[in-house]
Structure 1
């Protein structure tokens, strides 16, 4: 079953819900239940010990349950049930206050769950959380409130992932209208709005319009956090992907370089100051892994696996894995390759090479045959034999763990910048419906 990996109960245990077929005609006129997700007449009811939910079909019911309902069902019952006794006006105010607090807590949970599935590419499971978040926010603030923009954007992103571009544009239009009515909306929200418009236009082949929106995204995120902050990196990444599709390879590589630059500087700062990494959430870090993998693959294809820029991408991705505390094996291989590349281009005694080797030495090996210090010695023998404390079990679980396991001077420079941002072309933009990186237009890049 496709949804099995996200089920709370093991496969051999009965799920904590029961799906039962119902006949809409069996209910009195005007009282037939409707689907939680689609608003269509319900044909299935999902019975749980806390609440009974209604859906149009079994697939929608299962997606809703595994997407969010399995986590919030215990709270939905009390929220949706009418009070037993009306009570005094003061009692009603207290109950409304308590309900509002509960809804605000559920808003945060629904948004977090939706983000988790969006980053994982499980867009069908992200929709239920984003939709429930939107419902709670509407109950709290009313239609069109600026507080709903984040939920609109999650709904749009999930629909883009499901190739439902018309629905995505509808939610983006709703978000845009809310922002227009609230001129004090933050630049961070405006950035995400333009980024999602750019992704929709890029997916529909409207590359010029996509670049315009992504330029606005980068501008707004730069106003909010700075042009070199990691929050701006998705805008650079998606703009690079559009340039790539337009055969504007130098522009694509330059904007991919901005992605590496932002995350490299972030990780450098985290290694000297753990407080820097506390405000970057899990969803952003998982998205960064996907972006850096794409940058690495593109640089390796166009510049060559031995190019120093490819080595830099490997090192940045390896550090990010260590910061996240995940994919230790991949991190070890990436840092090892980066150490070999830096040793070849910069020399084993270069400050940067020594740092990469030091990080490699600090990554615990799986077996004695994979001893990290021995591997590092093959790259830079002058650093072999340096006694280091064990960091096993202390890798990036928190920003403090990362900083203590992989200390780093705050003023360390990058090995080399791949290329400067080129000036905009004087002519019109090139159009293309696709891009083959093996075409002659990319020839000679490895020598740049």
Structure 2
């Protein structure tokens, strides 16, 4: 993209997406990077509707992946599966490079969403909630709390649904409880 050869970049990214989709499926986190880079190209070409669609797809893929891990963790805590009395370790299911990529991609999408948040604040809140789950599962409760607080403030400011505000409040409560008695590694 440095030389702004968008046609060639789109061609290569389309191939990357195709092959990743064949190998992992269209909704896999390993395919999301291709969608993200293609969205950046469309954003650079000022084709904002196409970019928005792809950024939304990337957000939805990461939300589904992280939410699955988050729900498993919550169920385990509720059912008190750990018979030894240890606190549960959180886990993203990602290696260090994948965690770094998730942070980079999602914070980039967040920056774009925040620059256009007046038009669609719910999209910004959605990405903030995904980042909350990511950082929570990475055991970085201060970052999770920061993003949850931002999401809650934005949801209140733009009068998003009570359900949305309650969901974010539940995340904040969970994170606060974790900070009071942190998870041990």
TM category, shorter: 0.7 to 0.9
- What CA deviation, in whole Å up to 9, does each residue of 1:33-52 have, x standing for no partner? xxxxxxxxxxxxxxxxxxxx
Deviation of 1:273 after TM superposition, in Å, equals: 2.8
Aligned equivalents of 1:219, 1:322: Cα separation in 2: 32
Name the counterpart of 1:346: 160
Name the counterpart of 1:128: none
Q: Residues 389 and 285 from structure 1, CA distance in 2 versus in 1: closer, same or farther, beyond 3 angstroms?
A: closer
Q: Gaps spanning 5+ residues in structure 2: where? A: 74-90
Match of 1:285 among 72, 82, 99: 99
Structure-2-length-normalised TM-score: 0.80
**Conserved? CA contact 2:36–2:55, under 8 Å:** yes
Match of 2:44 among 245, 261, 271: 245
2:179 matched to 1:393?
A: no
- What CA deviation, in whole Å up to 9, does each residue of 1:153-199 have, x standing for no partner? xxxxxxxxxxxxxxxxxxxxxxxxxxxxxxxxxxxxxxxxxxxxxxx
Deviation of 1:391 after TM superposition, in Å, equals: 5.7
- 1:68-217 matches, within 5 Å, as 202-217=1-16
Aligned equivalents of 1:234, 1:392: Cα separation in 2: 35
Match of 2:18 among 193, 209, 219: 219
Aligned equivalents of 1:262, 1:354: Cα separation in 2: 23
Name the counterpart of 2:134: 320
Name the counterpart of 2:109: 295
Aligned equivalents of 2:7, 2:178: Cα separation in 1: 53
Structure-1-length-normalised TM-score: 0.35
Q: Gaps spanning 5+ residues in structure 1: where? A: 1-201, 365-387, 398-448
Q: Which has the higher contact order (CA 8 A, sep 6+)?
A: 2
Deviation of 1:257 after TM superposition, in Å, equals: 1.0
Deviation of 1:389 after TM superposition, in Å, equals: 7.4
Aligned equivalents of 1:341, 1:291: Cα separation in 2: 21
- What CA deviation, in whole Å up to 9, does each residue of 1:192-234 have, x standing for no partner? xxxxxxxxxx233211110111111111111122111111111
Name the counterpart of 1:331: 144
Name the counterpart of 1:258: 57
Aligned equivalents of 2:105, 2:152: Cα separation in 1: 22
Match of 2:66 among 237, 256, 267: 267
**Conserved? CA contact 2:20–2:31, under 8 Å:** yes
- 1:348-367 matches, within 5 Å, as 348=162, 350=163, 352-364=164-176
Aligned equivalents of 2:2, 2:135: Cα separation in 1: 29
- What CA deviation, in whole Å up to 9, does each residue of 1:320-369 have, x standing for no partner? 1111123x333212112212333444332x2x4322211101213xxxxx
Name the counterpart of 2:87: none
Q: Secondary structure at the match of 1:346?
A: coil
Q: Residues 229 and 338 from structure 1, CA distance in 2 versus in 1: closer, same or farther, beyond 3 angstroms?
A: same
**Conserved? CA contact 1:318–1:334, under 8 Å:** yes
- What CA deviation, in whole Å up to 9, does each residue of 1:393-447 have, x standing for no partner? 218x6xxxxxxxxxxxxxxxxxxxxxxxxxxxxxxxxxxxxxxxxxxxxxxxxxx
Deviation of 1:308 after TM superposition, in Å, equals: 1.0
Aligned equivalents of 1:251, 1:306: Cα separation in 2: 15
Aligned equivalents of 1:289, 1:241: Cα separation in 2: 16
Which has more radius of gyration?
1
Q: Residues 390 and 204 from structure 1, CA distance in 2 versus in 1: closer, same or farther, beyond 3 angstroms?
A: closer
